Amino acid sequence: MSRVPLIAGNWKMHKTVGEAEALIQALLPRVASLESVEIAVCPPFTALAPMVDSARGSRVAVFAQNMHEADHGAFTGEVSAAMLLDLGVSGVILGHSERRAFFGETDAALARKLPAALTAGLTPILCVGETEAQRLAGETEAHVRAQLESDFAAVEPERYAEVVVAYEPIWAIGTGRVATPAQAQEAVAFVRSVLAERSAEAERIRVLYGGSVSGENAVELLALADVDGALVGGASLTAESFAAICAAARQ
Ligand code: PEP
């Protein structure tokens, strides 16, 4: 089963509009010829509209970093799927570990956000992954299984392949401590096996690895049998390193 790799750059709370513009203008020519790879950048909300304008007609899609599950309402500080679509945004990161840890994002909310994103026509990147303590306690699989089972609870089995899952061990995010290829392959294959229990579409689901991916380690990680791309934080903040990771995903 061949799945088109996706490399997504999570800019987190970095880049003013001017800085984002400089980054995208440096990135676009570097990735213009990478035809067998899907590429997305995920700027902060303030830079979404200008990045959609700047990336129009290019190989680079623009995703948001979060959304609310309701269409509209009294939810101060939140943004709906309809608002993202209105800007020309094509997808959204959901359940990033930083949102789970610092902003109270729950699996119950994600079980509503995932179908809301799909209904709206956005491609969700659902993040799952264990803490270091959970890994050391041998609880990685139980934790990742619980996240997947909760978060996919309201997704129709025939729509599973429209979701992208990012396996991100929390101890590897922003730390420079990348998972070993064996750890990444084992966890990503486990994600697919859990989804296969619920949907016949599991072989078509793209499962990314995230956690300290760099231009140096990307070739090895992206060559793994079940790894269909990467969710990239720090290394997506410069055009050179992000483009190097995109090039490493070329099939
Ligand atoms: C992330 O934020 O999802 C991430 C993987 O960050 P980093 O690449 O910096 O570890």
Q: Which domains does the chain have, with CATH numbers?
A: 6-250 (3.20.20.70)
Q: What local confidence, expressed as pLDDT, does residue 148 receive?
A: 98
Q: What local confidence, expressed as pLDDT, does residue 251 receive?
A: 61
Q: How is residue 128 annotated by DSSP? A: E
What are 129-152's pLDDT values in tens digits? Answer: 999 999 999 999 999 999 999 999
Of the residues 68, 69, 96, 130, which is catalytic?
96
Average pLDDT over the chain reads 97
What are 81-132's pLDDT values in tens digits? Answer: 999 999 999 999 999 999 999 999 999 999 999 999 999 999 999 999 999 9
DSSP character string of 44-64: -GGGHHHHHHHHTTSSEEEEE
Tell me, using a 6 A CB cutoff, whether residue 211 lines ligand 1.
Answer: yes
Which pTM does this prediction carry? 0.97
What are 3-35's pLDDT values in tens digits? Answer: 999 999 999 999 999 999 999 999 999 999 999
Cα–Cα distances in angstroms (integers) from residue 69 to residues 64, 115, 249, in the given order: 14, 8, 32
Ligand 1 atom closest to the Cα of residue 232 is: 8
Cα(11) to ligand 1 centroid in Å equals: 9
Q: What local confidence, expressed as pLDDT, does residue 78 receive?
A: 98
Tell me, using a 6 A CB cutoff, whether residue 233 lines ligand 1.
Answer: yes
At residue 2 the predicted structure's pLDDT band, cuts being 50, 70 and 90, is: confident
216 among known catalytic residues: no
Cα(174) to ligand 1 centroid in Å equals: 5
Q: What local confidence, expressed as pLDDT, does residue 250 receive?
A: 84
Tell me, using a 6 A CB cutoff, whether residue 174 lines ligand 1.
Answer: yes
Quote the strand ranges of the chain, DSSP E.
6-10, 38-42, 60-64, 91-94, 123-128, 164-167, 206-210, 229-232
Cα(32) to ligand 1 centroid in Å equals: 24
